[in-house]
Amino acid sequence: MMTPDLPRDAQGQLPILAARDLRKAFGRVVAMDGADFDLYPGEILAVIGDNGAGKSSMISALAGAMRPDSGNIWLDGKPVRFASPMDAREAGVETVFQTLAMAPALTIVDNLFLGREYRKPGLQGAIFRTLDRRRMRAEARDHLSQLGLMTIQNIDQIVETLSGGQRQGVAVARACAFGSRVIILDEPTAALGVKETRKVLDLIRDVRERGIAIVLISHNMPNVFEIADRVHIHRLGRRIAQVRPSELSMSDAVAIMTGAMEPPEPDPKGYHHVQTG
Amino acid sequence: MPSDDASPLFSERAGFGRRTINVLNGNPTIIPMLVLVVGVLAFSLIVGERFLHPFNLSLVLQQVTVIGVLALAQTLIILTAGIDLSVGAIMVLSSIAMGHLSVQLGLPPALSLMIGIATGGVCGALNGIFITLLRLPPFIVTLGTWSIFNSVLQFWSNGQTIRQQEIAVDAPILQWTGTAVRAGAAQLTLGSLLMLGLALLLWYILNRTAYGRHIYAVGNDPTAARLSGINTRRVLFSVYVLAGLICGVAGWILIGRIGAVSPLGGATANLDSITAVVIGGTSLFGGRGSIAGTLMGALIVGLFRNGLALAGLDVLWQEFAIGILIIMAVGFDQWLRRISA
């Protein structure tokens, strides 16, 4: 494997999650054509791109949901190969899928711990496999209150009875709950109204405050420009630009995204100067 | 409105209607419980003393035991959004295995019993293989295996019934589930107690273990379950095996109930088990329902039949009433899904 020579940000930090030259073809359709990616600690990176630009494929590769044909991924400078979302999760990369991946008929606690339940200590857990419901409840309450999601909420309420924003909140809380260092959010506000969108954006900022780096995939340009520290623009299967929202207008970003405008600084291989906030 | 913006993401200002829906969604046994209570009250008013007599009520429990156990197996499967049309055939096949091996081949009765229950597990595994490995729809798979298991059991039993006396001599353990236990004026059978014990065990598994929560998750949203790290196919397969084993136990209880081993039992058992599950408030769409609901569903069917019979109505009207209950139960579930979506 090629030794990573990854670009540092303004603080001299190496990317927490990086990828080089990811390629993936589905038959004759090329989904990734040498895609690069850099995410730095503590930032919110928005990934934008037209439909079919291949950003979902890239995100799937980073999240372990899809294996690229070739290319490398580094987490904290170490090469990684995720065979499944579970692999990625264990390494500290959590993804909140657009569908949220929650079972609507189960409770908030059930969903927070789905697939990683705690069992009671001692024989009861070892032999009878009894769930430690008290511990899960307490921790669930903890996680929700840390993100300011806990007011009068009944933790045993089933997820289906929550509003779209609340569900997103629970999904984000779940992603934060297990010591993750990177959270990938796929269209977190797509299904939400204006007020709930606002609350979810606040929530994303809170998560950043906790030192977790965030990848935000969104079609909502005003959201992206409001909240992102940097914007990764994807086109025709690869990254064609990285910009700071303050340096570019929204319409220019869309123009670059759709190919109507040349990117301000092309992003060839070995491009080392990265603008970060 | 700034005041609204300041309100937290989690605030609850639901109206009475929405709150009611939330409660019903979170507690699927409320409706069958109500039906059960109203039914008991209505029949005790119409029929009077005879209906509420402990002996009569315990008789109903005996009558619903076989279907009740099958319905427990069916509940597991319907919770995964599947369906099993072969439960009755698996039960009879298991009972024939037990009877044939012990009475006709002279194997030790306890061993025959074990093999009989294991036969149920093998049948369930077969269903599970078709459904999880070949990814065929459960309805079609179990329609097919229902037919297959039926022919196998006809072949195995040679169409012959093993008589009560033979079993009593050669393998009395097979009739153990029919043993009566007196409790005051009530008369229970060990089979009924076995059903209650089994229900308790399944309740524990479904509600107090991770595996149980995974069964709900797989039925409710398989994609979400998979993305949460659950091996959905393994869960599905194991549920069909577990259901098969429970059907094997039902075969044992069937022998206790009728005394003999007959290839003819269980013709309507498949559908009766689904009836109990559905009336018990478990959703055919998966992920919602409970063991307690299923027990109530089985009891509702039994009590309605019993009450209507005591009230002097013909059997055909009992069937009529059960039909209405099924449609009401499914209609209610659909309605709840629609408004809470």
Mean per-residue pLDDT for B158-168?
92
pLDDT in tens, A188-219: 888 788 888 888 898 899 899 989 999 999 98
Tell me the C-alpha distance between A221 and A200, whole Å.
15
Tell me the C-alpha distance between B56 and B38, whole Å.
18
Chain B contact set for A133 (CB, 8 A): 208
Chain A contact set for B216 (CB, 8 A): 103, 105-106, 110
Chain A contact set for B22 (CB, 8 A): 157-158, 161
Chain B contact set for A198 (CB, 8 A): 5
Tell me the C-alpha distance between B172 and B317, whole Å.
38
Contact A152 B12 (CB under 8 A): yes
- Taking CA atoms, B38 is separated from A268, B33, B55, B300, B318, in Å, by 75, 9, 20, 10, 17
Q: How confident is the model at residue B14 (pLDDT cuts 50, 70, 90)?
A: low
Q: How confident is the model at residue B244 (pLDDT cuts 50, 70, 90)?
A: very high
Residue B19 predicted with pLDDT over 80: no
Provide CB contacts within 8 A for B94, sequence distance 6+. Answer: B116, B117, B119, B120, B123, B247, B248, B250, B251, B252
Q: Indicate which of A113, A134, A160, A206 best probes the interface with B, i.e. most B CBs within 10 Å of its own CB.
A: A160
Residue B30 predicted with pLDDT over 90: no
Contact A198 B5 (CB under 8 A): yes
Residue A5 predicted with pLDDT over 90: no
A148: closest chain B residue by CA? B8
Contact B227 A200 (CB under 8 A): no
Q: How confident is the model at residue A143 (pLDDT cuts 50, 70, 90)?
A: confident
Q: What is the dihedral of CA A194, A197, A203, A204, to 10 degrees?
A: -130
**pLDDT at A48 (0 to 100):** 94
Residue A45 predicted with pLDDT over 50: yes
Q: How confident is the model at residue B10 (pLDDT cuts 50, 70, 90)?
A: low
**pLDDT at B17 (0 to 100):** 76
Q: What is the DSSP string of A220-233?
A: -HHHHHHH-SEEEE
Assess contact for B293 and B28: CB atoms under 8 A.
yes
B222: closest chain A residue by CA? A103
Residue A8 predicted with pLDDT over 60: yes
Assess contact for B74 and B84: CB atoms under 8 A.
yes
Using only C-alpha atoms, chain B has a radius of gyration, in whole angstroms, of 22
**B9, B211, B220 member nearest A104 (Cβ):** B220
Mean per-residue pLDDT for A227-252?
92
With CA atoms as reference, report the closest residue to B97 among B255, B268, B258.
B255
Chain B contact set for A165 (CB, 8 A): 9
Assess contact for B269 and B88: CB atoms under 8 A.
yes
The complex scores an ipTM of 0.83
**pLDDT at B2 (0 to 100):** 38
B79: closest chain A residue by CA? A105
For A158, the 3-state DSSP assignment is: strand
Q: How confident is the model at residue B290 (pLDDT cuts 50, 70, 90)?
A: very high
Residue, of A276 and B302, whose pLDDT is higher: B302
Partners of A182 in beta bridges: A93, A213
Chain B contact set for A151 (CB, 8 A): 8, 10-11
For A17, the 3-state DSSP assignment is: strand
Other beta carbons within 10 Å of A127: 8
Work out the minimum CA distance from B85 to partner chain A, whole angstroms.
Answer: 25
Burial code (b: 16+ CB inside 10 Å, e: under 16) for B175-197 equals bbbbeeeeeeeebbbbbbebbee
Mean per-residue pLDDT for B285-289?
92
**pLDDT at A190 (0 to 100):** 84
Q: How many CA atoms lie within 13 A of B200 on its CB side?
A: 6
- Taking CA atoms, A187 is separated from A251, B88, B280, in Å, by 20, 48, 39
Q: What is the DSSP secondary structure assignment for residue A116, as one 8-state letter?
A: S
Q: How confident is the model at residue A277 (pLDDT cuts 50, 70, 90)?
A: very low
Contact B12 A148 (CB under 8 A): no
pLDDT in tens, B200-240: 999 999 999 999 999 999 999 999 999 888 999 999 999 99
**pLDDT at B25 (0 to 100):** 75
Residue, of A9 and B251, whose pLDDT is higher: B251
Work out the minimum CA distance from A267 to partner chain B, whole angstroms.
Answer: 33
A157: closest chain B residue by CA? B26
Mean per-residue pLDDT for A165-190?
87
Residue B297 predicted with pLDDT over 50: yes
| Token pair belonging to A26 | 């589905």
Contact B10 A99 (CB under 8 A): no
Tell me the C-alpha distance between B9 and A170, whole Å.
10
**pLDDT at B185 (0 to 100):** 85
Other beta carbons within 10 Å of A92: 18
Those of residues 276-305 in B touching chain A at CB distance below 8 A are: 287-288
> Is residue A149 within a helix (H) or strand (E), and if so which, with residue range?
none
Mean pLDDT of chain A, nearest integer: 86
Residue B7 predicted with pLDDT over 60: no
| Percentage above 70 pLDDT, chain B | 95
Q: How confident is the model at residue A275 (pLDDT cuts 50, 70, 90)?
A: very low
Chain B contact set for A169 (CB, 8 A): 9-10
A85: closest chain B residue by CA? B227
Q: Does B228 touch chain A (CB under 8 A)?
A: yes
| Token pair belonging to A245 | 């929202």
**pLDDT at A150 (0 to 100):** 64
Mean pLDDT of chain B, nearest integer: 91
**pLDDT at B239 (0 to 100):** 98
With CA atoms as reference, report the closest residue to B128 among B40, B218, B44.
B218
Residue B4 predicted with pLDDT over 80: no
For A162, the 3-state DSSP assignment is: coil
